[in-house]
Amino acid sequence: MKNKLLLLTSLIMVAAMLLTACEGETVEVTRVVKETVVEKETVVQKETVVQKETVIETVVEKETVIVEGTPEVREVEVTKEVIKEVEKEVIVTATPVPGGVFSGAYPYQVPPVGHFNAYATNGIPQGLGIYQSLYQPPLAMYYWADGTWMPLLGTDWEIDQDAATLTVNLREGVMWSNGDDFTAEDVLVTFNCRRLAKGTVWRFLDRVEAIDDYTVVFHMSEPSTVVERYVVRNEYIKDRATYGEWSDKVQALVDEGLDSDSDEWNALLQEFNEFRPESVNATGPYNIDVASINEARLTLLKNESSWLADTVKFDKVYLYNGETPTVTPIVLAQEVDYATHGFPPATEKAFKDAGIRILRPPIYSGPALFFNHTIYPFNVPEVRRAIAHAIDRNENGTVSLGESGKAVVYMAGFSDNIVPLWIDDTDALNQYDLDREAAAAMLEELGFSRGDDGVWVTDQGDRMEYELTAPAEYADWSAAAENLAEQLTEFGIATTFRGVEFTQHPIEVNQGDFELAIRAWGSGNPHPHFSFVADLYTHNIEAPEGPGMSFEMVQPTECCGEFDFEANIDNQTVGLDADAQKAMVAETAKAFNELLPIIPLWERYGNNPAMDGLHTCGWLPDDNKIYANSPYADSFTVMMILDGTLYPCNQ
């Protein structure tokens, strides 16, 4: 019997003898059934049947015959019935069943550290990442392959360039799980609270107003193509019952003429960050069962009042807690139907050997080497360029994620997949090929030299010896950091890796409490603007806990003169003229490529295990357009749950 999968459950042997008289044929059947027990439910995955069947075949036998009175042994062909054992494996046909469970995995913080403020650090609603759309969906989600939308709380919308507005029509008849009607007031509250939290979308908005209960108008400072994405997709809509009072307080400050730099605003923000709702109010087809939350997993129960309650096929969703080391054995045990974690090459091989389907969509981002620019010589562009030449990015990606870690080529600050769409002259970008001799020469030109132990010493007499940190639980980033530390040390920059708990690491980086760190570059959004924000805003000028990496946003460049990154990143989205935007994106990419404020290492592709046909069915084939979506920015799995494509089977 084939045993393809590693199971935590035991094999149950059931033997039965079936004797049947039928025209001289005897069949003996031994049946073996594998079972997985899930809350006392038996899931039959596949059967192996061993049969003893009577078959007709020709065999050669020896027999004694009398030839001229003398016995003689001869070989003769004889046709006769022979009983043979035949082993057959039978895959159980996927059968849709009512109800059922979808099991996913995503790391979250357990209360009291974890809480239900969807705007504050360690909030569980936003901490569940892609699955937030199941209970607090955005206005719509996006199909990357053809640029179409999946309307959710918004039904349609229109940009008026002359009026500089985006008008969104909302879905009528939607209810919150507390019984309130969903209206335009909820959208206003959502964006007012985002304004309080200093969200990037408010760089492009002047105000938001409700025309009636189901029409919202977003007034832009100038028309911009990215406002549609920020408004329609990036914001998960929250409720007025929970956040209305905070929206009112923000509006009062705005009416007084105060802005986000005022003491009053920052005091209110601090108070808001300490706000702790008791639960989540949901419009989506599921909601968080607060009582179910523990260290191992939590449960999303179906929200029967949702307009999507009759569309989705699962009654509940289990989300297992933990990063890659914790989730890996659960996946191998077939307790998780889908996971987005970055699994090391050896683990992916184990999945494949076990017959688990691997989905490999583009993610449009990856890990980068971040510098603390307050530390000399990391504030010197030539040093950063030399380090880029000293790193074997191909090796780093392969060690970290196998074929899912593809070395960055263009070093433009956004995905190689879309660089040719925005930059005509890609030859103008330095690809920073591996060349350690050139890297050494660049440092020597700066007056650096190697010490007796081979470690570089700066022109100021300081040894180049540093600590590199990364989230300890991120298996791919930790592997990248370990390999990078080895490569830099071999080159003569003595580097020690230290893993930091994954929720603490961004805080330390944002506070500037690091020397070198691995954080994300790029973004799963179609416009490069969003990637530049991730590169230069998230852990820099918009770092909530402090100065971040302290990269000055106005820098002298050879390519583009004195270059203002912030102004260009903000302005490259202004207007609806695609050619003008392309020109500004290209300039920003060239300046990024020259200065390398961070060094993108490799672009991540998913190696997402999907238990196709085990407990869930309906997974689309690999060539379907939906897999052009990033598994994070517009999760194809969540979209297939929301539209009913995925359904429970064999449960």
CB-based contact 416:410 (threshold 8 Å): yes
Q: Which residues contact 119 (CB under 8 A, 6 or more apart)?
A: 126, 193, 194, 196, 197, 272, 273
pLDDT > 50? residue 36:
no
- Residue-level pLDDT at 93: 43
Instruction: Write the burial class of residue 433 (CB in 10 Å: 0-12 exposed, 13-18 middle, 19+ buried).
Output: exposed
In the Cβ-directed half-sphere of 136, how many Cα atoms lie within 13 Å?
26
- Residue-level pLDDT at 67: 53
- Residue-level pLDDT at 523: 93
Of 342 and 389, more confident: 389
Distances in Å between the Cα of 516 and the Cα atoms of 359, 436, 479, 602 are 32, 20, 15, 17
pLDDT > 50? residue 253:
yes
Confidence of residue 75 (pLDDT cuts 50, 70, 90): low
Of 14 and 316, more confident: 316
Q: Which of 185-189, 271-275, 349-353 has the lowest mean pLDDT?
A: 349-353
Condensed to tens digits (0 to 9), the pLDDT of residues 429-461 reads 999 999 999 999 999 999 999 999 999 999 999
- Residue-level pLDDT at 80: 52
- Residue-level pLDDT at 416: 95
- Residue-level pLDDT at 395: 98
How many whole angstroms separate alpha carbon 168 and alpha carbon 113?
36
pLDDT > 70? residue 43:
no
pLDDT > 80? residue 151:
yes
Q: Which residues contact 2 (CB under 8 A, 6 or more apart)?
A: 48, 89
In 68-94, the DSSP E strands lie at 70-91
Across 275-279, 332-336, 612-616, the highest mean pLDDT is recorded for 275-279
Chain length of the chain? 651
pLDDT > 50? residue 42:
no
- Residue-level pLDDT at 14: 31
How much is the average pLDDT of 600-614?
A: 95
How much is the average pLDDT of 574-592?
A: 91
pTM attached to this predicted model = 0.70
- Residue-level pLDDT at 145: 86
> CATH says 96-115+122-135+284-361+614-651 is which class?
alpha beta
- Residue-level pLDDT at 226: 85
Confidence of residue 224 (pLDDT cuts 50, 70, 90): confident
- Residue-level pLDDT at 89: 44
- Residue-level pLDDT at 651: 87
Instruction: Write the burial class of residue 274 (CB in 10 Å: 0-12 exposed, 13-18 middle, 19+ buried).
Output: exposed
How many whole angstroms separate alpha carbon 279 and alpha carbon 242?
9
Does domain 136-273 bear CATH number 1.10.645.10? no
Looking at the DSSP assignment, which residues form a beta bridge with residue 14?
31
Confidence of residue 4 (pLDDT cuts 50, 70, 90): very low
Largest CA distance in the chain: 128
Condensed to tens digits (0 to 9), the pLDDT of residues 458-474 reads 999 999 999 999 999 99
- Residue-level pLDDT at 222: 78
Condensed to tens digits (0 to 9), the pLDDT of residues 332-353 reads 999 999 999 988 889 999 999 9
In the Cβ-directed half-sphere of 320, how many Cα atoms lie within 13 Å?
24
Residue 583 token pair? 């020109």
How much is the average pLDDT of 387-408?
A: 96
Phi/psi of residue 436, each to 5°?
-75, -25
- Residue-level pLDDT at 423: 96
Task: Supply the CATH classification number for the domain 365-541+593-604.
Answer: 3.10.105.10
pLDDT > 60? residue 623:
yes
How many whole angstroms separate alpha carbon 120 and alpha carbon 476?
26
Confidence of residue 76 (pLDDT cuts 50, 70, 90): low
Confidence of residue 48 (pLDDT cuts 50, 70, 90): very low
Confidence of residue 52 (pLDDT cuts 50, 70, 90): very low
- Residue-level pLDDT at 526: 84
- Residue-level pLDDT at 64: 55
pLDDT > 80? residue 116:
yes
Per the prediction, the chain carries an average pLDDT of 87
Condensed to tens digits (0 to 9), the pLDDT of residues 541-582 reads 999 888 999 999 999 999 999 999 999 998 888 887 888 899
How many whole angstroms separate alpha carbon 408 and alpha carbon 405?
9
pLDDT > 60? residue 183:
yes
Q: Give the domain ranges of the chain.
A: 12-91, 96-115+122-135+284-361+614-651, 136-273, 365-541+593-604
Confidence of residue 61 (pLDDT cuts 50, 70, 90): low
Q: Which of 49-58, 75-84, 394-403, 615-624 has the lowest mean pLDDT?
A: 49-58
